[in-house]
Amino acid sequence: MHLIERIAARKVKIGVIGLGYVGISVASALAGAGFEVTGVEIKQERVAKINAGKCPIDGIEPGLPELIAKVTSSKNLVASTDYASLADADVVLIDVETPVATDSRPRFEALRAACRELGRVMKEGVLVIVESTIAPGTCARIVVPLLEKASGRKVNEGFSLGHCPERVMPGKLLKNLKELSRVCGGSNAETSDAMVALYRTIVEGKLDKADCTTAEMVKTAENTYRDVNIAFANELGLICEAVGVDFRRVRDLVNESPGRDVHFAGAGVGGHCIPKDPWLLVHGIEGFEPKLIAAARARNDSMPLHMARLVESALEEIGKRIYGSTLAVLGYAYLENSDDTRNSPSEAIVEHLQDWGAKVLIHDPWVEPYTGDLWSRIQGADAAIIMVKHDGYQNLDLAKLKSVLASPVLVDGRHVVESADAAAAGFVFRGLGRGRPRYL
Ligand SMILES: NC(=O)c1ccc[n+]([C@@H]2O[C@H](COP(=O)([O-])OP(=O)(O)OC[C@H]3O[C@@H](n4cnc5c(N)ncnc54)[C@H](O)[C@@H]3O)[C@@H](O)[C@H]2O)c1
């Protein structure tokens, strides 16, 4: 039976390598669609947790804990640390992390290891699909050579290769997986057709066929688009502060002009993807020096330092300085209602504040060891600094906040508090992008 018919009949075994945010979501969704799925993950405790029917991700992730409980109890999803369990898989997805190093160059160790280990065990005719985000050219330069060497088979003869980058975001993993369109990049047309058949079992969005390199390019370009646009919003926010106007108001009015869609300014850009995907996009292109993309990265990376300067300015207004102060950072994840701290702007601001001699208290409802009662965690601080728009920080009781702080200083990096409310509650207030009127 042809692969497409076997997919329709649920007669293919699927392997998923890497059971992080992306891998556990797609593995559960495919298991929920009736496939027999084996997940291979190097972290033993994660494997044990999944096999016990528990969700390995904290934070609000609608539907995922229930789905994992269901598909593990039916044994449609089984996790393992052993690559040998992929020997009878007909389709294998690769969902390992693909970070960049401090010099902004890709670190594809996990991807290389996954290809080498998979190549040793994969069977004749397997379809391998890389879902991880990778630099344009990575399928051709890294994935194919490693799989061919380890397996002794040739691409498009002994195995086929596809690249179908994920578009999910923590907090909406299953929803995004189901609703968003996907690019099915195949090493040949037949492979793209098989990928469309497979993803159609879990995706309601559009499925576009392409080649692998186009798929690599699209994913890294869409995240770079976001980074550059956020950088523009952040730069505009800084200009608004300097000019003495409110960024939100300016943004709303600019966006009334046709074709304009200014993003939000904020305390920084974090997560596994946006800070590194622009570097993946421009990696390995001979003689090309990124200008705009590099400038956008620098602007976004500068935002936590700017937040620290806002804290400094607010403290100065009450005759205090950062050195010797105790400062409370609200939110340590990079994203609201998530436990994901990768490249978190909060980590960067904490480093700046500590470098300048502050003692820093941290609260986050989702990130250990900072969970627990907000008020007791930040009791006695000289200022509160909102870094993340967690639900728990919306509608903050400002009177209560003032009563637990040693001095009434509030700095808001996510537009959670209105300036007028902060003033009415008696705070010395700074908001990112909120200039204090200077002119007319
Ligand atoms: N997090 C997101 O929202 C998101 C969204 C879209 C795309 N992506 C991309 O998807 C990929 C995965 O991201 P993630 O957030 O799920 O990462 P993650 O770090 O949460 O998950 C990766 C998992 O792979 C495991 N792993 C590493 N090496 C392995 C190996 N050799 N064999 C088996 N398991 C191994 C890790 O232990 C980890 O659990 C990345 O390329 C990322 O850029 C992520």
Ligand 1 atom nearest residue 132's Cα: 41
Instruction: Round the average pLDDT of the chain to a whole number and report it.
Output: 97
Among candidate residues 132, 329, 301, the one with its CA nearest the CA of residue 230: 301
Alpha helix (H) ranges present in 324-397? 345-355, 374-378
Which residue pairs, CB below 8 angstroms and at least 24 apart, start in 392-400? 392/365, 393/330, 393/331, 398/422, 398/425, 398/427, 399/425, 400/375
Expressed in angstroms and rounded, the spacing between residue 128 Cα and the centre of ligand 1 is 16
CA distances from 18 to 39, 83, 130, 200 (A): 7, 11, 11, 22
pLDDT in tens, 118-164: 999 999 999 999 999 999 999 999 999 999 999 999 999 999 999 99
As annotated, the active-site residues are: 219, 273
Atom 41 (ligand 1) nearest CA: 132
What's the CA gap between 212 and 116, in Å, rounded? 20
Q: Name the residue of 96, 172, 183 whose CB sits within 8 Å of the most ligand 1 atoms, as the mutation to test its pocket.
A: 96
| 20 in contact with ligand 1, CB cutoff 6 A | yes
Looking at the domain assignment, is residue 197 inside a domain? Answer: yes
In 3D space, the residue among 101, 126, 222, 232 whose CA is nearest the CA of residue 169 turns out to be 222
> Residue 302 C-alpha to ligand 1 middle, in angstroms?
26
- 270: in domain: no
* 67-93 residue pLDDT tens: 999 999 999 999 999 999 999 999 999
Residue 210, H or E segment: strand 207-211
Q: Is the CB of 150 under 6 A from ligand 1?
A: no
Q: Does 19 sit in the ligand 1 pocket, CB within 6 Å?
A: yes
**Cα(304) to centroid of ligand 1, in Å?**
26
Pairing of strands 359-363, 383-386: unpaired
Give residue 343's pLDDT.
Answer: 96
Ligand 1 contacts CB of residue 32 (under 6 A) = no
Same domain membership, residue 318 and residue 189: no
The vertex-227 CA angle with 225 and 229, nearest 5°, equals: 65
100 Cβ closer than 6 Å to some ligand 1 atom: no
234: in domain: no
In this structure, the answer to whether residues 33 and 176 fall within a common structural domain is yes
- 274 falls within a domain: no
Atom of ligand 1 nearest to the CA of 98: 41
Angle CA 299–304–307, to nearest 5:
110
* Ligand 1 lined by 61 (C-beta under 6 Å): no
φ and ψ of 386, to 5 deg: -90, 115
Cis peptide before 369 (omega within 30 of 0): yes
Are residues 310 and 188 both part of a single domain? no
Residue 10 burial (10 A CB sphere; 0-12, 13-18, 19+): middle
End of a domain among 149, 181, 210? 210
Position 384 in a domain: yes
CA 99–ligand 1 middle distance (angstroms): 9
Ligand 1 pocket, 41 CB below 6 A? yes
| Structure-token pair, residue 124 | 């004749």
- Looking at the structure, do residues 15 and 162 belong to the same domain, yes or no? yes
Which residues of the chain have a pLDDT value below 50? Answer: none
Ligand 1 and 164: CB distance under 6 A = no
pLDDT for 1: 72
**193: domain CATH number?**
3.40.50.720
Identify the domain boundary among 177, 210, 243: 210
Within this chain, do residues 203 and 325 fall inside the same structural domain, yes or no? no
Helix, strand or coil for residue 37?
strand
The CA distance from 114 to 212, in Å, is 18
CA 418 from centre of chain: 28
Please indicate whether residue 339, judged by its CB atom, sits closer than 6 Å to ligand 1. Answer: no
What range defines the domain where residue 341 resides? Answer: 302-431
**Count of domains observed in the chain:** 2
User: Which atom of ligand 1 is nearest to 110's Cα?
Assistant: 28
Sign of CA dihedral 314, 316, 317, 318: positive
Q: Find the 397 Cα to ligand 1 centroid distance in Å.
A: 38
Q: Are 151 and 161 in contact (CB under 8 A)?
A: no
Residue 339 is assigned to a structural domain of this protein: yes
Give the residue whose CA is nearest to atom 21 of ligand 1.
20
Atom of ligand 1 nearest to the CA of 134: 41
> Last residue of some domain: 173, 195, 210?
210
Q: Which atom of ligand 1 is nearest to the CA of 277?
A: 43
Ligand 1 atom closest to 173 (CA):
3
| Å from CA of 435 to ligand 1 middle | 40
pLDDT of residue 140: 97
* Nearest residue (CA) to ligand 1, atom 31: 114
- Determine, yes or no, domain membership for 281: no
Shortest-distance atom of ligand 1 to CA 46: 39
Instruction: Flag whether 129 is in a domain.
Output: yes
| β-pair type (159-163, 182-186) | antiparallel
Please give the distance, rounded to the nearest whole angstrom, from the Cα atom of residue 419 to the centre of ligand 1: 39
Question: Ligand 1 centroid vs 113 CA: distance in angstroms?
Answer: 13
- Our measurement of the distance from residue 79's CA atom to the centroid of its chain's CA atoms, rounded to an integer in Å, reads 23
Under a CB-based contact definition with an 8 Å cutoff, are residues 77 and 93 in contact? no
DSSP 434: B
CB of 335 within 6 A of ligand 1: the answer is: no
CB 266 near ligand 1, within 6 Å: no
pLDDT at 440: 86
89 and 201: one domain? yes
